[in-house]
Structure 1
Amino acid sequence: MNINIHISHLTPTTSKPNDMAHKLLIAILLCISMMYVPSGAVAATSDPTAVKWHPGHYYIIRGSQKNNATYLSQVYSELKATPALKGMMIRYFWNDLEKSKGVYDFSSIDKRLAELSSRGKRLVIQVQTKSFNKRQVVPNYMKTAEYEGGEFDISDYGNKVVTGRNIKLWNLQVQNRLTALFRAMGKRYNSHPYFEGISMIESAMGEPIKPLTKTQVTNFYNNKIIVQKQMRLFFPNTMTIQEVNYPRPILASFVGRLKNIGTALSSPDTFIEEKGLLFEATKYDPNQGVYNYYSEFAGTIPMVPTVMSNNYKNTKGDGTGYVPTISQILAFARDTLNANYIFWTREKHYAKVLEVLNWKGQRNAPAGGLNPKCPSAYSSCTS
């Protein structure tokens, strides 16, 4: 229902209105306008490009349990007891959301968003286009020549055993269909005040079982940037996120383009001592690790590192470091990576995570002790 009321139609133009009557009129109009704001709309602002901004700590729940009522009940009780936890991230594979061409199933997201909204907590979604367990990631309709089968097999580096799959994003048709998914999601969720962010999985491709051409690799990363540009258009009031780790030789250009778009910089891991992520450029190797860009671009775009299960176990990916404490991981993400948000994977270490997040420094501090400042890439932020 649309109600258009113009003050000039209600206020006499031939004489100055009584101040008290004028104030009363403004109050009445404000009340009427608030009655007709859709429940899912972003808070009113003079800036239509203002971005929802609720920095702090967020859970990442187990994807296999995202529709398990018993599991979710426990998660919700932990969110309630931990003020520093602002909400949670849920990961969905592409083919979880698109059942056939242009036919989307967002019912699970809708349910979780409603449950979180009722609790004053927020939702971040990651669309997974890469698997680590041989799982198919693209919808079935893409297993055709038009899409080159849609995906390719990958392995862990150093062997030729299939361990996962990634999408053939160099294919223009694959790119178009991924863009269409984000368009549909933006239309549905951008204006929802508790839909906090939308993310794409890590930049590392994995080791292709069948070697790729240089052109395919180049187009893969170029098209990922194109998709991120479109996401900013589809989600003008919502944080868009890209996980970045490797390959180092492309990072200067890739992360620089993300900065220009206004995309949040994330990482699939927070390893305190990982050489490849911390690598500082030299005259012999100018390709610095991604962690260096956190300090370089802090304050410009959001910094949103992720803590995964292996990060709780060791400071290095190969296990040759030490077992860090939760407070050490937090300090590294907060002070070295300049985090605005931290996404904590809810693994067996979650009790220790909750303990640290309920310490005074996180429980009583704005943004759970993280940097609360609105990044300059956004025209303004709404809280």
Structure 2
Amino acid sequence: MRNITTLLLYFLLFWQRVQADSPQNYIFTDSDSLTSPIFLREDIKGAQIVYSWKQLEKSKDNYDFSAIERDMSILKKMNKKLFVQIQDRFFEPEHRNIPLYLQNEPQYLGGLIQQSDNPGEGKPAGSGWVAMQWNSQLRERYQKLLKALSESFDGKIAGINLPETAIGIDRKKATKLGFTCDRYFSATVDNILFAKKSFKKSHVIQYVNFWPCEWNNNQGYMSKLFEIAYKNSIGLGGPDIVPYKNGHMKNSYPFFHKYQGKLDIIAMAVQQPTLTYTNPQTKNKFTKEEFIEFADHYLGVNIIFWTLDAPWLHDIVK
């Protein structure tokens, strides 16, 4: 009897450890969806919400964080956590969502450059915009926003996400606006190091998937970023978990595999377009279990941000 009890105890401890090590589930959503009963589930730990630069800085140095404060308050009442993503790139032609002064004052050169394609989004050419972070004066304004956010929310939010590294731009046009491959990489690194310096308690996560000037680490940007993140206790993540997808396997995925357990945190998303991918072995859409298996064992993911469209979320609320 004692042996059976001991075995059961070991099994319970092992199962608790497995559960603790498995990726936590968060919902990638907007403020309007926080009333969903899905947030009452015990297996949902919180939300990741995207806030545009223009939404948070109404005019120069006029910050409005009321949306974050409201969302944080709603989640706190449910004992859930909030990840804040600060968005400086947009995927619709009418969404030029950076403050107007950045678009109008000459030193910022218009502030935005058109995205000529949006890989994975299914959008036509010329359907989006991205802030020109390689412009040092624009980047200074972005970092001022990050500093203001840290003063209000460091330690109160679970973490802050900086958007993906992938952009689709006309490099010839961008060059006339000061773009170079090295400047884009350096600007990304400068922003995440500044964010880490500002947020001392909340996680800082940089989304990394592709670089506009690189494939298969042929410029060394991917390997450099992961090493910088490792040495500075910065988290990394990405907008798509697609098991063994060829493009990702030639870019960020092998580095997540190499650095799993070494980074401060790895947080990745299963967004709506991700659900459309088919498992080449089964010929069916990837299941929740297949996403988690790859995220956990190959990528070393600590948190998954799930789209509300994920079918499993609409099971009976637990």
| TM-score category of the 2 structures, normalised to the smaller one | 0.7 to 0.9
Distance 2:237 2:79 in 1: 24
Which aligned pairs between 1:274-353 and structure 2 lie closer than 5 A? 274-279=245-250, 289-301=251-263, 302-315=265-278, 322-347=284-309, 349=310, 351-353=311-313
TM-score by length of 2: 0.81
Q: Deviations over 1:327-377 (max 9, x none)?
A: 111211111111111111112x3x41354996xxxxxxxxxxxxxxxxxxx
Q: Alignment partner for residue 146 of structure 2, among 176, 182, 189?
A: 182
For residue 201 of structure 2, what is the aligned residue in structure 1? 237
For residue 12 of structure 2, what is the aligned residue in structure 1? none
Q: 1:92 is matched by which residue type in structure 2?
A: Y
Give the ranges of 4+ consecutive aligned residues of structure 1 lying more than 2 Å apart after TM superposition: 157-161, 207-217, 247-250, 258-261, 353-358
Q: Which runs of 5+ in 1 are unaligned?
A: 1-53, 280-288, 359-383
- Residues 354 and 339 of structure 1: is their aligned pair in 2 closer, same or farther, counting only changes over 3 Å? farther
For residue 166 of structure 1, what is the aligned residue in structure 2? 130
- Residues 95 and 103 of structure 1: is their aligned pair in 2 closer, same or farther, counting only changes over 3 Å? same
Distance 2:315 2:299 in 1: 22
TM-score by length of 1: 0.68
Which aligned pairs between 1:92-111 and structure 2 lie closer than 5 A? 92-111=51-70
Question: Are the counterparts in 2 of residues 124 and 197 from structure 1 also a CA contact under 8 Å?
Answer: yes
- Quote the offset at 1:208 in angstroms: 2.8
Q: Which runs of 5+ in 2 are unaligned?
A: 1-21
For residue 271 of structure 1, what is the aligned residue in structure 2? 242
- Residues 131 and 209 of structure 1: is their aligned pair in 2 closer, same or farther, counting only changes over 3 Å? farther
Q: Percent identity?
A: 24
Which aligned pairs between 1:98-247 and structure 2 lie closer than 5 A? 98-134=57-93, 135-143=95-103, 144-156=105-117, 161-192=125-156, 195-208=157-170, 211-213=173-175, 216-247=180-211
- Residues 322 and 116 of structure 1: is their aligned pair in 2 closer, same or farther, counting only changes over 3 Å? same
Secondary structure (helix, strand or coil) at the match of 2:35 reads helix
Distance 1:210 1:113 in 2: 42
- Quote the offset at 1:315 in angstroms: 4.1
Secondary structure (helix, strand or coil) at the match of 1:123 reads strand
Q: Deviations over 1:178-205 (max 9, x none)?
A: 100000000000032xx10100111012
- Quote the offset at 1:259 in angstroms: 2.2
Distance 2:82 2:70 in 1: 11
Secondary structure (helix, strand or coil) at the match of 2:34 reads helix
Q: Deviations over 1:72-102 (max 9, x none)?
A: 322xx2121x212110000011111100111
Q: How many residues align?
A: 279
Question: Are the counterparts in 2 of residues 272 and 315 from structure 1 also a CA contact under 8 Å?
Answer: no
1:59 equivalenced with 2:35 (yes/no): no
Question: Are the counterparts in 2 of residues 89 and 123 from structure 1 also a CA contact under 8 Å?
Answer: yes
Distance 1:237 1:98 in 2: 23
Distance 1:182 1:138 in 2: 14
Q: 2:136 is matched by which residue type in structure 1?
A: L
Question: Are the counterparts in 2 of residues 157 and 207 from structure 1 also a CA contact under 8 Å?
Answer: no
For residue 24 of structure 1, what is the aligned residue in structure 2? none
Of structures 1 and 2, the larger Rg is shown by 1
Question: Are the counterparts in 2 of residues 132 and 164 from structure 1 also a CA contact under 8 Å?
Answer: yes
Q: Deviations over 1:266-316 (max 9, x none)?
A: 01111113101113xxxxxxxxx2111112111111111111112111148
Question: Are the counterparts in 1 of residues 118 and 167 from structure 2 also a CA contact under 8 Å?
Answer: no
Q: Deviations over 1:152-178 (max 9, x none)?
A: 001217998311001111111111001
Q: 2:193 is matched by which residue type in structure 1?
A: K
Secondary structure (helix, strand or coil) at the match of 2:127 reads strand
- Residues 266 and 157 of structure 1: is their aligned pair in 2 closer, same or farther, counting only changes over 3 Å? closer
Q: Deviations over 1:107-139 (max 9, x none)?
A: 011011011112110000001111111210311
Question: Are the counterparts in 2 of residues 244 and 290 from structure 1 also a CA contact under 8 Å?
Answer: yes
- Of 265-274 and 91-100, the range deviating more from structure 2: 265-274
Distance 2:171 2:189 in 1: 24
